[in-house]
Structure 1
């Protein structure tokens, strides 16, 4: 069932791709059950990054941390994820991805349990960093889907798996807020550990083996990342544009719970998490981006998506002077819009990146996702600082500007 084979190393023959996929007649579309497993694995893994976000108000109160200190939780999680992608994701080109998935599953279970058992804020921060590093498990499922998919339906299949990942991002906040409201925040991390353990066992049982596409050493794998970035202009554009979109995305989600926890709303973690439902509505429409990218090209999708994100964040900025009730309604509508925009852009960018060099998909994906999560870490820091200093309007204003910058990177024409 694998669709990849061993060929030359990228550093020895720079102008050529590392591997050649088999003829499309030889590539079968993976079974729906396998696609579902990949989507579920990606969703449950990446959800681990976001369980803490609707709980920031609760965690700050329990550990005696301020709003600025609470912002270090998502910051360390996102930085850990970027570090894990940079150091671990390239191994998917060198080793059987099924073995990597099993190993990371075990480590992520341990990190989640450490967070749930943390006795002080420092311990929780360390556990958050470990969760970020090991939750890169999610990015082993997405290249696996791209490797198994035939070229003519790759956008749609990757889009389906990405839907699982996006739903994991967004619904994690809903689930986390509700579980914390009724059973406490520690129960959420215990349940998450159980879920990852189950997905690890299912992946080991049903995923096929993946043939490595390169024999490069680990050091050479890491060294090839800047080579790939320098070689592919579209990779550079995708990394920068998605990174800019991620700044606003993370700034919003990293400060929403604290904003709703204070005046004039005084709302708990369940309400903050419920905004994930609005985001999920946008994510459900995101698979259409993969289908549209297959038919009309990903560049059009990216421009529309970045414009929608900028419009949605701008709408939030305008709503800050309205009544609390109207502001909440406007927040919900805008959340649908910007989540759809950010996620559709990501699917379209991945469609571009996975087509650049089939033998380097794990590393190409690593470059894209590292840029994305560096943007998220920067957004978490900037959002927390701006909110503490100037309030919610500063956060939404920054998100609007970074979305417009992403649109400028893509340009009105290619």
Structure 2
């Protein structure tokens, strides 16, 4: 039969993982993420000025902030998944144009209804941060994925935090809240001349080959991604529980600070956001740690950090110093957990990167909403101590998820019970073995038809010995995973990159390499088939 490798022109399938993003492009993506996420948060300090300027109550003006959060959640659900199949430059251009246009409309709004509707619309289209993160991770490749995700995350944190102060200063200097909207519109529009050029034409194979899923089917894959991939479930559940604990603290902090014996006003509560910026800055280093030690190790460390923070704010509830220190540790732990969780899910490959990020972010939003509701009720009924205990309970749930996942963590050896792309049942012991060349042809063809670009066949299972044929299409990445006690990798077709810690090695057809006895990953630099031999405990 004709080789599937020869049947697919290389130029049509450029492997993103084989072309690491230049640092200048990462900087552009980081700045763009900060500018666009700021559109969600900069109106918050302007609500009093909006109420006075439009002649409405403070509660009515608060609808603007609520519309921003609702629009952002809708955009994550309805727009972000499109990045897996759409042409990224065109999608980015359209979203930036719509967002800047919405900001100009908001700046000229004659009444609060127009402003609220404009905010809802522009917040729905300003979801580029959740598109740029998976794009940057895919461009970075497995060796730098965590570090790049951490850098983008730092930009988002600074954008959401600093924008509040900048908008208030711009409003005061320019004579009104409308000036802040105009500045945001101009900054967003300026990205039209820079950002599209820093992006690849498309993220997944479907966007390049034209085989795009219909929109309703694209959205329908979201629950299936959660059900089929352990990485998505672990990241989504730990992300939801950690963000729930985070939200418990911030939803009740202002009430606790205002109550005796502290008796602080709302200005002090707002100051805590700025005082916790050091924790956010340090959390960016979680990316490099994830590249070196793996997502699970960094997530475990993050949970420990959150637990220490809750201990501080629980036992030091009357000490402003303890509360500030606890807030910084909480921000550090939550930020580091998000970086590690996103790095984990992006290892599933660029073809589903935007959709798995959608699942993760929606889970985090849901956890945050649950945490806020729980916190307000418990604080009103039982006080600060009960709220802190609830946050600790969410951290315990996250730990249970993580420990359960580590016990079930697969090694690089395919198992019959784990779905990872297309998989054939293993050959029973004692039966005639298949021809490896024929298996390579068969599974490379299967990999091209698989949504994740991979296919595997367990050909030998004799006691602790396992031998598997694994086919990967160009650019497909097997994320970092645990190593078996002993294993080797022989390349049958194509070219791959074996990564471990801070080093990597390229292997071509015919080469044999021992698998390092540490967490490692595998990336296909071109269509490839490998023979994995392993001894398990």
| TM-score bracket for the superposition, by shorter chain length | 0.7 to 0.9
Cα distance in 2, alignment partners of residues 99 and 176 from structure 1:
29
Does the CA-based 8 Å contact 1:78-1:377 persist in structure 2?
no
Residues 18-97 of structure 1 correspond to what in structure 2 (within 5 A)? 22=15, 27-54=18-45, 63-65=56-58, 75-97=66-88
- Give the superposed CA RMSD: 3.6
Tell which deviates more after alignment, 55-64 or 35-44. 55-64
Cα distance in 2, alignment partners of residues 43 and 249 from structure 1:
21
Aligned to 1:13: none
Does the CA-based 8 Å contact 2:299-2:336 persist in structure 1?
yes
- Secondary structure in 2 matching 1:49: helix
Cα distance in 1, alignment partners of residues 232 and 68 from structure 2:
25
Aligned to 2:296: 299
Residues 252-271 of structure 1 correspond to what in structure 2 (within 5 A)? 252-253=249-250, 264-268=263-267
Matched, 1:202 2:199: no
Shift of 1:175: 2.9
Cα distance in 1, alignment partners of residues 241 and 183 from structure 2:
33
Please report the TM-score for the alignment, with normalisation by the length of structure 1.
0.79
Does the CA-based 8 Å contact 2:146-2:291 persist in structure 1?
yes
- Secondary structure in 2 matching 1:411: helix
Please report the TM-score for the alignment, with normalisation by the length of structure 2.
0.63
Matched, 1:331 2:323: yes
Evaluate the alpha carbon distance shift between residue 129 and residue 313 of structure 1 in structure 2; reply closer, same or farther with a 3 A threshold. farther
Does the CA-based 8 Å contact 1:20-1:359 persist in structure 2?
no
Tell which deviates more after alignment, 116-125 or 106-115. 116-125
Matched, 1:213 2:205: yes
Task: State how many pairs are aligned.
Answer: 387
Shift of 1:341: 0.8
Aligned to 1:348: 340
- Secondary structure in 1 matching 2:144: helix
Structure 1, gaps ≥5 residues long: 1-6, 9-18
State the Cα deviation string for residues 340-398 of structure 1 (Å, max 9, x = none): 11111011011110112332111111111121123334445555666677776665554
Cα distance in 2, alignment partners of residues 228 and 117 from structure 1:
42
Cα distance in 1, alignment partners of residues 100 and 111 from structure 2:
20
Matched, 1:166 2:162: no
Aligned to 1:311: 308
Which has the higher Rg, Structure 1 or Structure 2?
Answer: 2
- Secondary structure in 2 matching 1:151: coil
Q: Pick the aligned partner of 2:143 from 152, 163, 171.
A: 152
Does the CA-based 8 Å contact 1:57-1:258 persist in structure 2?
no
State the Cα deviation string for residues 297-354 of structure 1 (Å, max 9, x = none): 111111221232233244334444x2xxx42x33332221111111110110111101
Shift of 1:179: 4.4
- Secondary structure in 1 matching 2:41: coil
Evaluate the alpha carbon distance shift between residue 132 and residue 315 of structure 1 in structure 2; reply closer, same or farther with a 3 A threshold. farther
Aligned to 2:131: 140
Shift of 1:144: 1.4
Does the CA-based 8 Å contact 2:234-2:405 persist in structure 1?
no
Cα distance in 2, alignment partners of residues 118 and 72 from structure 1:
14
Shift of 1:230: 1.1
Does the CA-based 8 Å contact 1:247-1:399 persist in structure 2?
yes
Cα distance in 2, alignment partners of residues 177 and 281 from structure 1:
22
Tell which deviates more after alignment, 337-346 or 47-56. 47-56
Cα distance in 1, alignment partners of residues 67 and 291 from structure 2:
36
Higher helix share: 1
Does the CA-based 8 Å contact 1:74-1:380 persist in structure 2?
no
- Secondary structure in 2 matching 1:216: coil
Shift of 1:273: 5.0
Higher strand share: 2
Does the CA-based 8 Å contact 1:112-1:189 persist in structure 2?
yes
